[in-house]
Amino acid sequence: MDLKIESKEVDGIGIIILEGEVDVYTAPKLKSRLIDLVDEGKYNIIIDLQKVEFMDSSGLGVLVGGLKRVKSHQGSISLVCTQENILKIFRITGLVKVFPIFSSEDEAINSLKGS
């Protein structure tokens, strides 16, 4: 399974929409997209995981690395996810305390606008 990555911008917020599997083979593609967004000056980023079927530790590593990168610019990474199998990974690793997780893109956008 490959990873499809779409990007868009809403009110200055970079949004990455993922579909497929985030694993050791596809994680570098996500990392590259995150770096590109930060290089473009997008420090508040939403990553939509609604269509992600599988994520391994390399995917989590890319998210944590991306968070460190945006934090150095006072930015943030928010996640959109309602899939139990993916949420479970974030709970087990304790990353639910690190990433705000929302059930819709609109919720995530509104949260960033309010901050």
pLDDT tens digits, 86-113:
999 999 999 999 999 999 999 999 999 8
Q: Which residues have CB under 8 Å from 63's CB, separation 6+?
A: 47, 77, 79, 95, 99
Assess if residue 4 is contained within a domain.
no
Assess if residue 41 is contained within a domain.
yes
115 has a pLDDT exceeding 70:
no
CATH number of the domain enclosing 77: 3.30.750.24
What range defines the domain where residue 35 resides?
A: 18-97
Strands (E), the chain: 3-10, 13-22, 44-55, 76-80, 101-102
Assess if residue 33 is contained within a domain.
yes
Handedness of CA 12, 62, 53, 18 (dihedral sign): positive
User: What pLDDT does 96 receive?
Assistant: 96
Assess if residue 112 is contained within a domain.
no
Q: Report residue 60 as tokens.
A: 């989590």
Assess if residue 108 is contained within a domain.
no
Assess if residue 12 is contained within a domain.
no
Q: Report residue 7 as tokens.
A: 């990007």
Assess if residue 109 is contained within a domain.
no
Looking at the 3D structure of the chain, how many domains does it have?
1
69 has a pLDDT exceeding 80:
yes
User: What pLDDT does 14 receive?
Assistant: 96
pLDDT tens sequence across 11-58: 999 999 999 999 999 999 999 999 999 999 999 999 999 999 999 999
Assess if residue 3 is contained within a domain.
no
- Can you tell me the distance from the alpha carbon of 94 to that of 105, in angstroms, rounded to the nearest whole number? 22
User: What pLDDT does 53 receive?
Assistant: 95
User: What pLDDT does 103 receive?
Assistant: 97
CB 46 within 8 A of CB 13: yes
User: What pLDDT does 87 receive?
Assistant: 97
Q: Report residue 86 as tokens.
A: 């993916």
